[in-house]
C-alpha cells in the first residue's frame, strides 16, 4: 500500500474521532426532546421522503416502480435499510408514532397495501420543531466562524460528500 494511502487512513481515523464526538454533542439536542435519538432519525427519514408525506393514491410498489427508483417502496424496510436499523425495531417505532398520531396509513380501497405511511399534520409539526432545535444548535456551533470560513466549510462538505459517495458506492459494488 502506497504511503499516501496510509496517511489518508490515519487522517480518516483522526477525523472520525473528532466527528464522533461532535455528533455526540449534537445528538443531545434530540435527547432533550420528547423523542429518542433513533425516533428522531426515523422522523427525519419520514420527512425526507415525499412518497411518505403524500403517497400517490393507488401507487404500485412493484417491479416498475422499483426499476424507476420511485420512492414508493414499503416504509419500514426501506427506513430500516437507510438508517441501518433492525426492521423489527423500526416497526415498533412506527407503531409508536402511529399511536401518537404522528403518522397515518392512508389505505385506499385496497386494504392489503397497508405499508405506505405518511406524516400527519401533527407529525409534520413534530418534525419541524425538531429541525428547528437542531438548526438552533448548529447555528450556535458555527457562530464563531467568519463568513469566509462558513463558505469554505460549505464547499468542503459538498466536495467531501461527493468523494465519500464515490468511495462508498464502489465499495458496495465490490462487496454486495
Partner DNA sequence: GCAGAAAACTTGGCTATGTCAACTATTTAG
Partner DNA sequence: CTAAATAGTTGACATAGCCAAGTTTTCTGC
**Shortest reach from residue 141's CB to a copy of itself, in Å:** 5
Residue 102 DSSP SS3: coil
Q: Comparing C-alpha atoms, which of 50, 98, 47 is closest to residue 71?
A: 50
Hey, which residues between 41 and 70 contact DNA (CB under 7 A)? 60-63, 65-66
Written as nine digits, the cell of 75 is: 416504509
Stretch that binds a copy of itself, among 66-74, 91-99, 118-126, 144-152 (CB under 8 A): 144-152
| Buried b or exposed e, range 49-71, using 16+ CB within 10 angstroms | bebbbebeeeeeeeeebeeeeee
One-letter-per-residue 3-state SS of 103-151: EECCCCCCCCCCCCCEECHHHHHHHHHHHHHHHHHHHHHCCCCCHHHHH
**Shortest reach from residue 121's CB to DNA, in Å:** 22
**Shortest reach from residue 110's CB to DNA, in Å:** 7
Distance CA(23)–CA(12), nearest Å, equals 16
Q: Is 153 in the site for a copy of itself (CB under 8 A)?
A: yes
Write the interaction track for DNA spanning residues 82-111; mark x where CB under 7 A is met and - where it is not. Answer: --xxxxxx-xx-xx--------------x-
114 binds, options DNA, a copy of itself, none, Cβ within 5 to 8 A by partner type: DNA
Residues of this chain that interact with DNA (CB under 7 A) are 36-39, 60-63, 65-66, 73-78, 80, 84-89, 91-92, 94-95, 110, 112-115
Amino acid at each position: 500500500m502506497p504511503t499516501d494511502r496510509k496517511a489518508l487512513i490515519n487522517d480518516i481515523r483522526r477525523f472520525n474521532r473528532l466527528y464522533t464526538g461532535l455528533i455526540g454533542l449534537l445528538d443531545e439536542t434530540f435527547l432533550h426532546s420528547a423523542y429518542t435519538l433513533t425516533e428522531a432519525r426515523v422522523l427525519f427519514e419520514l420527512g425526507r421522503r415525499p412518497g411518505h408525506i403524500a403517497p400517490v393514491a393507488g401507487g404500485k410498489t412493484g417491479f416498475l416502480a422499483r426499476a424507476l427508483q420511485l420512492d414508493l417502496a414499503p416504509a419500514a424496510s426501506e427506513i430500516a435499510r437507510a438508517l441501518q436499523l433492525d426492521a423489527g425495531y423500526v416497526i415498533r417505532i412506527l407503531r409508536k408514532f402511529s399511536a401518537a398520531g404522528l403518522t397515518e396509513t392512508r389505505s385506499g380501497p385496497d386494504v392489503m397495501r397497508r405499508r405506505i405511511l405518511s406524516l400527519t399534520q401533527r407529525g409534520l409539526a413534530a418534525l419541524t420543531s425538531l429541525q428547528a432545535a437542531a438548526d438552533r444548535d448548529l447555528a450556535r456551533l458555527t457562530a464563531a466562524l467568519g463568513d469566509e470560513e462558513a463558505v469554505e466549510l460549505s464547499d468542503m462538505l459538498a466536495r467531501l460528500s461527493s468523494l465519500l459517495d464515490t468511495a462508498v458506492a464502489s465499495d458496495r459494488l465490490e462487496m454486495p
